[in-house]
Chain A
Amino acid sequence: MGNAAGRAPRRGEPRGNPGSFDELHRLCKEVFPPQMEGVKLIVTKTLSSHFQVTHTVHMSTLGPSGYRFNATFVGDRQLSPTEVFPTLVGDMDSAGSLNAQALHLLGERLRVKAVFQSHQAKFVTWQFDGEYRGDDCTATLTLGNPDLLGGSVIVVAHFLQSVTARLVLGGELVYHRRPGEEGAILTLAGKYTAPKWVTTLNVGYGGAHASYYHRANEQVGKLPPLPVTLALGAFLNHWRNRFHCGFSVTVG
């Protein structure tokens, strides 16, 4: 066989679960700062280890201003600092538009999620998805706005496979159906993870999306969470004569 270890030094490494399809570009997206405009006041009150409410007042210069109320309930099953099951989130604004999500873990590998969004009194989104996380693969099936009476649905299927400890390949199939028309779009995805950098590529009929993330140094000395936080931000697009700036105060 020759020097197999020299030709494939990482052959014996465990491949690990590749994560979720929607998080392929997450590392790169997290580097970009959020665009702030207007004035925002966020007050968060933790009522218990499971329940928290947030009041947000946003005085916007671009869109309508308003107030939002958010309530979040998390259960006992914690897989990681950001994944706790079950999670129930409800968000309502001053116009009566609702955004509600429920996430739950069924067994060890199956996660289910339901999302409902309404614009004032009318529901605009109702979506259900199930995700299976295997040892080295992830499969997701999503049903968007299924309407049995109207005969319309959007079905999205994702699959990611860890081919090696560093390479993940996968794809996405979107199928939509309405009375009188139907269509499908296929997108292929690949992600390569090196010790200091990650690159991801999605290629489909609608175009391509590539991202590259490089860690320049270790983040040391992170600030502990503070009781009051002030954030300032500005955005300038000189070509299109667009500028907006804003600040937000977060309490709790």
Chain B
Amino acid sequence: MAAAAAAGPGSGPGTPGSGPAAVAAPPRGLRAWLRSAFRFATDRNDFRRNLLVNLGLFAAGVWVARNLTDIDLMAPQPVP
């Protein structure tokens, strides 16, 4: 896993001599992308990350509040 991580950035599709590696690049690129996305999402010192994560959580909370009003089982039934 560590060797693949070390080889990943150095053998992307843009580097010379990476013809045979181009077929395998998408999975390695995807893994590297996922890893960097995880690092971005958990880096609390990044202002852009904090803004995006907090806006996303706020939007999720608003969506739940607007769409899950039927979870109150003790609420009176609506008049048909």
Q: Does B62 contact A (CB under 8 A)?
A: yes
Q: Does B23 contact A (CB under 8 A)?
A: no
Evaluate contact between A216 and B62: CB separation under 8 angstroms.
no
Evaluate contact between A212 and B76: CB separation under 8 angstroms.
no
Chain A positions 197 through 217: 1 when the CB is less than 8 Å from some CB of chain B, otherwise 0: 100000000000010101011
Chain A positions 208 through 231: 1 when the CB is less than 8 Å from some CB of chain B, otherwise 0: 001010101110100000000000
Q: B residues 40-80 with Cβ under 8 Å of A?
A: 58, 61-62, 65-66, 69, 72, 75-76
Chain A residues near B72 (CB, 8 Å)? 216-217
Minimum CB–CB distance from A203 to chain B (whole Å) comes to: 12
Evaluate contact between B66 and A217: CB separation under 8 angstroms.
no
Interface size counted on chain B using CB atoms at 8 A = 9
Inter-chain contact total with CB atoms closer than 8 Å = 21
Chain A residues near B62 (CB, 8 Å)? 212, 214
**Which residue of A210, A216, A220 has the most chain B CB atoms within 10 A of its CB atom?**
A216
The distance in angstroms between the C-alpha atoms of A72 and B31, with both chains bound, is 64
Evaluate contact between A212 and B69: CB separation under 8 angstroms.
no
Q: Which residue of B lies closest to A199 (CB)?
A: B62
Q: Which residue of A lies closest to B78 (CB)?
A: A217
Chain A residues near B76 (CB, 8 Å)? 217-218, 220
Known contacts A212-B58, A212-B61; decide if A197 and B66 are in contact (CB<8 Å).
yes
Chain B residues near A214 (CB, 8 Å)? 62, 65-66, 69
Per a CB cutoff under 8 Å, which of A210, A212, A218, A220 touches B65? Answer: A212
Apart from the given pairs A212-B58, A216-B69, 4 other A-B contacts in the complex at a CB distance below 8 Å: A197-B65, A216-B75, A217-B72, A218-B76
- Chain A residues proximal to chain B, CB less than 8 Å: 197, 210, 212, 214, 216-218, 220
Ordered by A's residue number, 5 sampled pairs between the chains whose C-beta atoms are within 8 Å are A212-B61, A212-B62, A214-B65, A214-B69, A216-B72
- Chain B residues proximal to chain A, CB less than 8 Å: 58, 61-62, 65-66, 69, 72, 75-76
